[in-house]
Amino acid sequence: MHKFNENQDTCDIFCYDQEKVERVSVLVQQEELAPAADLFKALSDQTRLKIAYALLQEEELCVCDVAHIIGATMATVSHHLRLLRSLGIAKSRKEGKLVFYSLDDEHVRLLVQTAIIHSKESK
C-alpha cells in the first residue's frame, strides 16, 4: 500500500508489492524494448513527426511533395525519410524518377494518430 503525498512526486514511505514487482520485472527484462525505444526516438524529432503526420494524411507522397508540405529542403526530407524507412516507420517505392513514401503499416498510423490526439487532449 502506497501513501502518496500530493505535494511531491514520491511516496512518503518506501514499500513495494513484492509479487507485482517480481512478475512485472520478469516481463520487462524478457521483452526486447530497444526497437520500440528507437521508434519513439525517431518520432520525437519534430521534423520526422511532421513527415509522419503528412504521410498519415495521404496514402503516399513523393519526396518533393513532403518537402513542400513541411517547408524543408529535399535533402533534409530525404535524410529523415531514409531514417524512417530504416526503422520500419515508412516504406518507399520508386516510379520512374520519383520516390513515393507511405507509412509502413496500420500500427505506425495508429501510433502517430494516437500521439496527435493525446497531445490535443493534454492541453
For residue 1, tell me if it sits in a domain.
no
Intra-chain end-to-end CA distance of the chain, in Å: 31
Alpha helices in 10-73 (DSSP H): 18-30, 34-43, 46-57, 63-70
For residue 21, tell me if it sits in a domain.
no
Q: What is the pLDDT along the chain (123 residues), one digit of tens a residue?
A: 455 545 677 888 888 899 999 999 999 999 999 999 999 999 999 999 999 999 999 999 999 999 999 999 999 999 999 999 999 999 999 999 999 999 999 999 999 999 999 999 977
For residue 62, tell me if it sits in a domain.
yes
For residue 16, tell me if it sits in a domain.
no
Domain extent for 90: 33-121
For residue 78, tell me if it sits in a domain.
yes
**110, 39 Cβ separation under 8 angstroms:** no
Domains held by the chain: number: 1
The whole model's pTM is what?
0.82
For residue 52, tell me if it sits in a domain.
yes
In single-letter form, the type of residue at position 62 comes to C
For residue 114, the domain's CATH number is 1.10.10.10
